Amino acid sequence: MRKKEREITDTAVIESIILKSSVCRLAMSENDRPYIVPLCFGYKDNTLYFHSAREGKKVDILRKNTKVCFEFDTDHEIVSSESPCKWTMKYRSVIGKGKASLIHDPEAKRQAFDIIMHHYSDKVSAYSEAGLDNSLIIKVEIESMTGKQLGY
């Protein structure tokens, strides 16, 4: 990281940023072209979980290339200035890399859905068989991640 004073190395702080975030941006690559999507997610044990339809561009790319990058950001605040060149933003962010796999097993999907749902709500109910059949879970095993902040 170029500006070491902005780097977050404490794993607990990095995880707190992830847990405070409501969206994860998942980036992948197809034919040397980047593709990024904002997704709802769950996080547990250094692993990310995403709900997806069984087909689509994201799934097509991940079937060919399992290497991904992800990004979280939170605590945004614009900091104005008299000089336009001195405007900035306070933030905390996490960027990482990992390897994605597609989960089809119904029980593994239920467990992943529970992790995703617990990120957003304390309410978890039974999942319909049709809902499970029509969905896919993207599991990302995190290989590395770094945190960065400005203004905190």
pLDDT (tens digit, 9 = 90+) per residue, 34-44?
Answer: 999 999 999 99
How far apart are the C-alpha atoms of 8 and 126, rounded to whole Å? Answer: 38
1-5, 75-79, 121-125: least confident range: 1-5
Q: Which residue has the higher pLDDT, 124 or 26?
A: 26
What pLDDT was estimated at residue 3?
A: 79
Q: List residues bridging with 102 in a β-sheet.
A: 138
The count of domains in the chain is 1
What pLDDT was estimated at residue 5?
A: 75
What pLDDT was estimated at residue 145?
A: 97
* Tokens encoding 7: 């780097």
For residues 106 and 31, the answer to whether their CB atoms sit within 8 Å is no
How far apart are the C-alpha atoms of 9 and 17, rounded to whole Å? Answer: 12
Strand-strand pairing, 67-79 and 24-30: antiparallel
Domain enclosing residue 95, as ranges: 4-150
Q: Which residue has the higher pLDDT, 18 or 122?
A: 18
72-117 pLDDT per residue, tens = 999 999 999 999 898 999 999 999 999 999 999 999 999 999 999 9
The CATH number covering residue 24 comes to 2.30.110.10
| Percent of the chain surpassing pLDDT 70 | 99
Helical residues (DSSP H) of the chain, grouped into ranges:
11-20, 57-64, 106-120, 129-133
How far apart are the C-alpha atoms of 61 and 108, rounded to whole Å? Answer: 22
27-63 pLDDT per residue, tens = 999 999 999 999 999 999 999 999 999 999 999 999 9
